[in-house]
């Protein structure tokens, strides 16, 4: 689904990602773990070209998402981002109603008016949010709890029918109960989507992911099935990290 | 011991000082409002409110029973220049604010913003002067008019005066929209323009409304510029190419010569009261709209 070949990324003169080679499988959950500053969020941001917003970024290498050459300047970045949705660290609903939050992506992508209601409801159902909000669809999204806001952000993302969902520490601002709901939701979403999730929480990686990438100082140290990474890591560094000796 | 007493006393003194300044402000405000009301009521004991509102002529100096005090020509003049100035200043101001906040680089913004703020420091007399010597000849040449001192001229000048306020405050509001909202929109595949229109501008709307309101307040209340540059004509204005005289200019011109406590004297307070009501309504309306939008934030 996603192929990354010899990816280097620099912020100014500082190299943040060093020759990354990865193959991410379709319809699986892949977790990116590693200590702060290891480049896992940066790597995630390359997949939907979020770094276009940051000045002074330079990238080398190749990323292919479903045959799209992600880094090529000719690539239509709006098409790409429709295909590769993103859920952010802090819930960031728009200052609009719950309904409008989900409908927004549909409107900008020119979905016919008549279809919007149905897709909004469907997306909210798939995010386990519909029952909680069905009577207040036109109330401000900011009145929802943090966990509900994050599920709304997931609903907003899946409304535009992406193939891949990138999640950048989606539970780090949430309480354990909300986190549990999001994790349950991830388990459900893996049937229809390819998910790449950055997480600080190793237990979370074990709970939700099929594959795990362990990164350190901008490099991929080890990439294997989640079970292998946590039960029988081949590298000493990985073992020390997953056992909690550093990081 | 003594020191503690002194501290307590100083504490009390400052509390009293702050209380005093607060009360002083409120009483000055109420005093002005009371004076306006008192004189306006005095006017309506002499002229009926219906005549005041419906008469189409402002002719106080014709003396005795023949004088009429029609609000309409002055009110229409004021509304004409103000609305004209807003039609020019709102899109220009918000556009400039968007450019500064979203498109101009940090270096350009660094000198652009102070420059625009400097524009607010130009005295209104100077703007009036510019209106007479530059803008009005331009308007008369452009539209083939014998006289460029008209409502359009006033609108252009008032727009220039309202722009710095609208631009700076809108820019602050647009700049304050969290980056995370832009990322969310772009992450859904929106273009930058779709993001600005669909997320950034709505999120900044309360601030932009406040900016427009303050700009409009300046335009409605502005006196010197419109007095100098709009031709001073009491005839009922038919459009932007007519010379006009606004409420503010009328008060400024006539107040100096009017005999104390005559009907004419009271009439000037009555039109000032109308001006006050307009400004207040604009404020209330803007506050109401901003509050409705703020609910969602």
The model's confidence at residue B292, banded by pLDDT at 50, 70 and 90, is: confident
Kind of pairing between the strands at A219-225 and A211-216: antiparallel
Average pLDDT over residues B41-49: 94
Q: Convert the pLDDT of each residue in B9-31 to its tens digit.
A: 999 999 999 999 999 999 999 99
The model's confidence at residue B77, banded by pLDDT at 50, 70 and 90, is: very high
CB atoms A142 and B187 under 8 Å: no
Q: Convert the pLDDT of each residue in B145-197 to its tens digit.
A: 999 999 999 999 999 999 999 999 999 999 999 999 999 999 999 999 999 99
Closest-CA distance of chain A to residue B195, Å: 9
Q: Convert the pLDDT of each residue in B226-275 to its tens digit.
A: 999 999 999 899 999 999 999 999 999 999 989 898 999 999 999 999 99
User: When comparing pLDDT for B61 and B117, which is higher?
Assistant: B117
| A96: contact with B, CB 8 A cutoff | yes
| B19: contact with A, CB 8 A cutoff | no
Q: Measured on CA atoms in the order B238, B240, B242, B244, is the torsion positive or negative? A: positive
pLDDT at B295 > cutoff 90: no
Residue whose tokens read 């239509």 = A76
Residue B196 lies in a domain: yes
Phi, psi of A74 (to 5 degrees): -75, -15
pLDDT at B62 > cutoff 60: no
Q: Convert the pLDDT of each residue in A17-31 to its tens digit.
A: 999 999 999 999 999
Please enumerate, as own/partner, the contacts of A189-192 that have beta carbons within 8 Å and a separation of 24 or more: A189/A126, A189/A154, A189/A158, A189/A165, A190/A27, A190/A28, A190/A29, A191/A27, A192/A27
Q: Convert the pLDDT of each residue in B99-137 to its tens digit.
A: 999 998 888 989 999 999 998 899 999 999 999 999 999
Q: Convert the pLDDT of each residue in B198-233 to its tens digit.
A: 999 999 999 999 999 999 999 999 999 999 999 999
| B203: contact with A, CB 8 A cutoff | yes
Q: What is the pLDDT of residue B1?
A: 61
Q: With CA atoms as reference, report the closest residue to A44 among A150, A164, A193.
A: A164
The domains found in chain A, sorted by start residue, are 2-90+163-242 (3.40.50.300)
Average pLDDT score, chain A? 94
CB atoms A94 and B186 under 8 Å: no
CATH of the domain at B225: 1.10.3720.10
| A154: contact with B, CB 8 A cutoff | no
Structure tokens given for A28: 């699986």
CA dist., res. B214 & res. B72, Å (int)? 25
| B188: contact with A, CB 8 A cutoff | yes
Among B186, B194, B297, select the one facing A95 at the smallest CB separation. Answer: B297
Average pLDDT over residues A193-205: 94
Residue B20 lies in a domain: no
Among A79, A90, A160, select the one facing B180 at the smallest CB separation. Answer: A90
Average pLDDT score, chain B? 93
Residue B30 lies in a domain: no
Among A96, A141, A156, select the one facing B188 at the smallest CB separation. Answer: A156
Size of interface A-B (CB pairs under 8 A): 78
Residue B81 lies in a domain: yes
CA dist., res. B15 & res. B273, Å (int)? 35
pLDDT cut 70: percent of chain A above it: 100
Q: What is the pLDDT of residue B63?
A: 58
pLDDT at B61 > cutoff 80: no
Q: What is the pLDDT of residue B65?
A: 65
ipTM metric:
0.91
CA dist., res. A166 & res. A197, Å (int)? 6
The model's confidence at residue B2, banded by pLDDT at 50, 70 and 90, is: confident
Our count of domains for chain B comes to 1
Residue B37 lies in a domain: no
pLDDT at A161 > cutoff 90: yes
Average pLDDT over residues A138-158: 94
Q: What is the pLDDT of residue B66?
A: 76
Residue B88 lies in a domain: yes
Query: What are the helix (H) ranges across chain B?
Result: 2-44, 49-54, 72-98, 106-119, 124-130, 136-143, 151-175, 179-187, 192-195, 201-221, 224-229, 247-255, 263-294
Residue B11 lies in a domain: no
Residue B12 lies in a domain: no
CA dist., res. A109 & res. B289, Å (int)? 29
- Containing structural domain, residue B234: 68-294
Q: Is A3 exposed, middle or buried (0-12, 13-18, 19+ CB in 10 A)?
A: middle
């Amino acid at each position: 689904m996603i192929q990354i070949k010899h990816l280097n990324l620099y912020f100014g003169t500082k190299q943040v990602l060093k020759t990354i080679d990865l193959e991410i499988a379709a319809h699986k959950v892949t977790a990116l773990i590693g200590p702060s500053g290891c480049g896992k969020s940066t790597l995630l941001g390359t997949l939907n070209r979020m770094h276009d917003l940051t000045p002074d970024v330079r990238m080398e290498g190749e990323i292919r998402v479903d045959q799209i050459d992600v880094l090529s300047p000719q690539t239509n970045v709006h098409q790409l981002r429709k295909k590769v949705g993103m859920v952010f660290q802090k819930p960031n609903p728009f200052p609009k109603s719950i309904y409008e939050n989900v409908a927004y992506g549909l409107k900008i992508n020119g979905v016919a008016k008549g279809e919007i209601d149905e897709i909004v409801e469907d997306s909210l159902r798939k995010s386990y949010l519909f029952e909680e909000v069905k009577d207040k669809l036109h109330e401000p999204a900011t009145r929802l709890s943090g966990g509900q806001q994050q599920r709304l952000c997931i609903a907003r993302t899946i409304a535009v029918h992406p193939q891949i969902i990138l999640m950048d520490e989606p539970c780090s601002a949430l309480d354990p109960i909300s986190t549990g709901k999001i994790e349950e939701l991830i388990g459900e979403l893996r049937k229809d989507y390819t998910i790449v999730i950055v997480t600080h929480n190793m237990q979370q990686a074990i709970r939700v992911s099929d594959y795990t990438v362990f990164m350190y100082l901008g490099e991929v140290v080890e990439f294997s099935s989640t079970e292998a990474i946590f039960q029988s890591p081949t590298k000493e560094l990985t073992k020390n990290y997953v056992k909690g000796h550093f990081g | 011991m003594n020191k503690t007493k002194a501290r307590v006393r100083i504490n009390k003194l400052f509390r009293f000082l702050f209380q005093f300044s607060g009360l002083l402000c409120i009483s000055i405000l109420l005093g002005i409002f009371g004076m306006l009301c008192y004189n306006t009521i005095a006017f309506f004991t002499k002229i009926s409110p219906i005549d005041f509102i419906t008469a189409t002529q402002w002719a106080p100096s014709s003396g005795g029973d023949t004088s009429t005090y029609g609000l309409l020509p002055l009110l229409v003049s004021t509304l004409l220049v103000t609305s004209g100035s807003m039609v020019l200043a709102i899109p220009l101001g918000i556009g400039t604010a968007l450019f500064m906040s979203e498109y101009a680089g940090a270096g350009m913004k660094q000198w652009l913003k102070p420059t625009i703020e400097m524009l607010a420091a130009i005295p209104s007399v100077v703007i009036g002067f510019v209106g007479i010597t530059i803008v009005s000849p331009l308007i008369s040449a452009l539209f083939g008019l014998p006289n460029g001192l008209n409502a359009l001229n006033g609108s252009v000048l008032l727009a220039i005066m309202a722009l710095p306020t609208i631009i700076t405050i809108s820019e602050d509001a647009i700049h304050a929209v969290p980056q995370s909202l832009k990322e969310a929109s772009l992450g859904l595949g929106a273009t930058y323009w779709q993001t600005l229109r669909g997320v950034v501008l709505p999120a900044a709307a309360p601030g932009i409304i406040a900016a427009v309101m303050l700009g409009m307040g300046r335009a409605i209340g502005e006196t010197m510029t419109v007095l100098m540059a709009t031709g001073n004509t009491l005839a009922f204005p038919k459009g932007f190419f007519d010379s006009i005289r606004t409420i503010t200019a009328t008060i400024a011109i006539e107040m100096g010569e009017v005999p104390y406590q005559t009907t004419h004297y009271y009439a000037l307070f009555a039109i000032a009261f109308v001006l006050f009501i307009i400004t207040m309504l604009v404020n209330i309306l803007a506050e109401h709209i901003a509050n409705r939008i703020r609910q969602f934030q």
